[in-house]
Structure 1
Amino acid sequence: MRFSRRLRNQRVDTSVTLTHLSALSTLKQHGPMSPGELAGHERVQPPSMTRVVVALEGMGLLTRSPHPTDGRQVVIDLTPEAVALLSAEAQAREAWLTGELAGLTDEERTILREASTIMEKLAGR
């Protein structure tokens, strides 16, 4: 747990919360979708996601467009600024992790590689 907390804290823009980053990352991974679909992916209630979407739109990180088949809904998507932010955040975490890994011995890196293979196997179950 401490490791994941430290990794998450390697931040570029702390005005964007981890909840916001998670929503942006989901949109990057899955593409444009309705706020309700995003709420489902993020496992939060739609009203909570509405607040996140409004905040991100206010920061210039999301756009809204009419849903192509349902006039009652909208589709949200990332702006170029959001894509750049996600890239910068990933680069910051990668730089920190690279530095941390450099401090390990060859034996420790081998153990870590083996452990990650086992963790991937467990995650696939």
Structure 2
Amino acid sequence: MSATDESLHLTATDLRMATFRLARRLRSVRAVDAMSDAQLAVLATLRMHGQRTITSLAERERVTAPSMTNMINGLEEQGYVIRTPDAEDRRRVQVDITESGTEIVAQTIRRRDELLADMLGELDFTEDELATLRAASALMRKVVDR
């Protein structure tokens, strides 16, 4: 049996509001306070998927190539990324994360996970409620990954 349109819309509204508030709370925690969410997202992409061109990073983050170039310039100045000539096309460059950049992403993830674990711990959830949250997380990933 399929969900009604009204049920889908109510669920979408509740889910949007809850995830927005949670994401905002988690985004407030990062390893480097001066780093923007966009810069951190680029580092996380490079850490997860490996080196990329500026164009592919811009497309992934939905910004213009010049905006991404400026962002990469800043990350490079801070030692979080390096540029290397593309092996197949010398006109292009590949951007890769440095060890320093990888550590920033790892520290930020750790801090955010700790914050969320603390938030969950303060609410004294039962094991069944935590299992429900994990199941909801899996369903949310299914929506996002489609």
Alignment CA distance shift 1:110-1:123 (3 Å): same
Percent identity between matched residues is 34
- TM-score, length-normalised on structure 2? 0.78
Amino acid aligned to 2:76: E
Corresponding residue for residue 38 of structure 1: 57
1:117, distance to aligned residue in structure 2 (A): 3.8
Structure 2 residue 141 is matched with structure 1 residue 120: yes
Q: Which protein is bigger by CA-based radius of gyration?
A: 2
Unaligned segments of structure 2, at least 5 residues: 1-19
- TM-score, length-normalised on structure 1? 0.90
Which one of the candidate residues 87, 97, 106 is aligned to 1:87?
Answer: 106
8 Å Cα contact 2:81-2:97 kept in structure 1: yes
Aligned residues: 125
1:61, distance to aligned residue in structure 2 (A): 0.6
Amino acid aligned to 1:14: D
Unaligned segments of structure 1, at least 5 residues: none
- Separation in 2 of the partners of 1:57 and 1:121? 34
Alignment of 1:20-35 (within 5 A): 20-35=39-54
- Structure 1 runs (4+) deviating above 6 angstroms are none
- What's the secondary structure of 1:92's corresponding residue? helix
Once the two structures are overlaid, the 10-residue window that deviates more, 96-105 or 23-32, is 96-105
1:113, distance to aligned residue in structure 2 (A): 3.1
Alignment of 1:1-125 (within 5 A): 1-104=20-123, 105-106=125-126, 108-125=129-146
